[in-house]
Amino acid sequence: MEQGKIVKVAGPLVVAEGLIESRMYDLVRVGNEGLMGEIIEMRGDRASIQVYEETEGLGPGDPVDATGAPLSVELGPGMLESVYDGVQRPLDVLERMTGAFLTRGVTAPGLDREKRWEFVATVSAGDRVSGGDIIGTVQENVVIEHRIMVPPSKAGTIADITSGTYTVTDAVAHLKTDSGEIVPLTMMQVWPVRMARPHARRVSATEPLTTGTRVIDTFFPIVMGGVSCIPGPFGAGKTVTQHQIAKWSNAEVVIFIGCGERGNEMTDVLMEFPELVDPYSGEPLMKRTVLVANTSNMPVAAREASVYTGITMAEYFRDMGYNVVLQADSTSRWAEAMREISGRLEEMPGDEGFPAYLGTKLAAFYERAGKVECLGATAAGGDVRTGSISVVGSVSPPGGDLSEPVVQNTLRVVKVFWALQDQLAFQRHFPAIDWLTSYSLYLDKVTPFWNSHVSEEYRSRRDTCMAILQRENELAEIVRLVGLEALSAEEQILMETAKTIREDFLQQNAFREDDQFSSLKEQDLLLKTILLFHERAIEAHAKGAALKDIFSAPVRERITRAKYLGTENIAEYDSIASDIETQLVGGGADESARAVYAGGER
């Protein structure tokens, strides 16, 4: 391969000359230690290279070796339960090689070359296959079955295939192409991180990604294959919210990218995920998780690579037919890395010094999410298989300023906005998602699913509660100026109902076992109970009941504790409804309460 030499070093940016045959985004090895770098600009015979390791000690005249290939990741059995850096070097392997402090230039393959996997063939010699077809399976762990696929660009007839024990580089089959060439098929694919993996076609996503977090699932839902962002200042709960989504979402595979976050936060993830029990399998959560850790003390250029590494891994699992949730924490640190590299390239800056192509880069990243029909067919008979990638990106605007460029450019491409407010966090209201400024554009998409799987009244109850919260915000200024007594009786009841929605529905304890997760049916039952009290309170006052008697009714304590019941205690919800009828309206309450919860709406 050709070799150039360094003419300039500026932090993580190295300028080399003599790389005439190299192309944009090619991988190169810089200096005598062979530091990993990527070409990001070409001017004549000079190439600007962002180096993914510390450049201390490099100087003019040092060699730069071209590899002729773009930055790529290895995809195959062994990815799950792994912890990688931003360029897919396994950190546990590097630690065994160099100790806790990594040595520059050290590298290791993304997939273990020695470990053997039990491959079970699902096609036979003579079968016609094309890109994306599944030719066999590997039970990677007790949770996930790894489906071995034909690489996207290959097609032909299976010449031979044998079940057995193989490493990821062994040929498990041979493919005879239409031109007569015999191509070995291994369990590993190598794919450029900046190139999206192909699919048959995109399909409309209508099934919600349920997270167990009430404020998200009911008020601001996201679909499987959707994109959302969580902007918020330091301490508002972005990382905890993402941990909750990773643990409780109904996605089969979790990709967690720590992009430029503090080391202690990634340490929490590394320590907690192996201890967390997956609620769907009973196994450790790590068995369906891949972690990409690129902390703030790691080289800044690798932050960009970490985001692309993570999304490429997610696409690979999507192509198998899995639903994947990708957590990027945080895209602000990625944007800051782009700003630093752009400044060293002497590019014209945009808003607040960010590069002019910031919006394009963010859009290209989020565009790789979605629900798709995968290439190829299942081995069981040619059925179409679908997979999805849901992306949840956190944004860390300075001082919580939502008008800054990263937030605004992100909002142009995402459809769900969970706005975290530090004022709510200071009030100990968690999740600190502001219900007045957040939004979801997927509501109409998920409503048919809610109607068929939860209740036909679920959407209307959700909209009623949102209207109550918005009206409370309008009345709050009057209350601050002249007091609650200045409001009409119905408005005072509305204020009390809004308080109940905020404190008993929207607030949720991520560390309390009986409040960590709330199913959609449980959320519907909670809304029913709260709105039933609201309606009966208005009726009771119309019949002459005093407001203080309504607000001090003993049943209110039962409503407060209803969120801990779960869906197994339907009788308790019926009993609460009965108490509401008895204490607020009186007479004939039992039969009336049963009617409220009757008829398969549970």
Residue 316 in this model has a pLDDT that exceeds 70: yes
Q: Tell me what pLDDT residue 289 has.
A: 93
Residue 371 to residue 217: CA distance in whole angstroms: 19
* Domain locations along the chain: 3-70, 117-187, 201-436, 458-596
DSSP 8-state symbol, 585: I
Residue 590 in this model has a pLDDT that exceeds 50: no
Residue 31 in this model has a pLDDT that exceeds 50: yes
Task: Determine the CATH number of domain 458-596.
Answer: 1.10.1140.10
Rounded to an integer, the average pLDDT of 288-309 is 88
CATH T-level fold of 117-187: OB fold (Dihydrolipoamide Acetyltransferase, E2P) (2.40.50)
Pick the CATH number of 3-70 from 3.30.413.10, 3.40.605.10, 2.40.30.20, 2.40.50.100: 2.40.30.20
Q: What angle do CA 516, 520, 522 make, to 5 degrees?
A: 70
Pick from 100-104, 393-397, 436-440, 562-566 the range whose average pLDDT is largest. 436-440
Q: Tell me what pLDDT residue 382 has.
A: 57
Residue 493 to residue 530: CA distance in whole angstroms: 12
For helices 570-580 and 520-542, the axis angle rounded to 10 degrees is 10
pLDDT band with cut points at 50, 70 and 90 for residue 315: very high
Here the tokens at position 319 are 């192509």
* Percent of the chain residues topping a pLDDT of 90: 70
Residue 26 in this model has a pLDDT that exceeds 90: yes
Same fold, 201-436 and 458-596: no
pLDDT in tens, 320-351: 999 999 999 889 999 999 999 999 999 999 99
Q: Tell me what pLDDT residue 312 has.
A: 97
Beta bridge partners of residue 65, listed in sequence order? 3, 29
pLDDT in tens, 448-463: 999 999 999 999 999 9
For helices 458-482 and 443-453, the axis angle rounded to 10 degrees is 120
The CA-to-CA distance between both ends of the chain, in Å, stands at 67
Rounded to an integer, the average pLDDT of 25-40 is 94
pLDDT band with cut points at 50, 70 and 90 for residue 100: confident
Task: Determine the CATH number of domain 201-436.
Answer: 3.40.50.300
Contact between 15 and 46 under an 8 Å Cβ cutoff? The reply is yes
Q: Tell me what pLDDT residue 379 has.
A: 45
pLDDT in tens, 65-78: 999 999 999 999 99
Rounded to an integer, the average pLDDT of 125-137 is 94
pLDDT in tens, 176-204: 998 889 999 999 999 999 999 999 999 99
Q: Tell me what pLDDT residue 149 has.
A: 96
Q: What is the mean pLDDT of the chain?
A: 90
**Helices within 454-519 (DSSP H only):** 458-482, 489-500
pLDDT in tens, 41-94: 999 889 999 999 989 999 999 999 999 999 999 999 999 999 999 999 999 999
Q: Which is higher by pLDDT, 567 or 29?
A: 29
Q: Tell me what pLDDT residue 587 has.
A: 40
pLDDT band with cut points at 50, 70 and 90 for residue 601: very low
pLDDT in tens, 361-389: 999 999 999 999 999 865 445 578 999 99
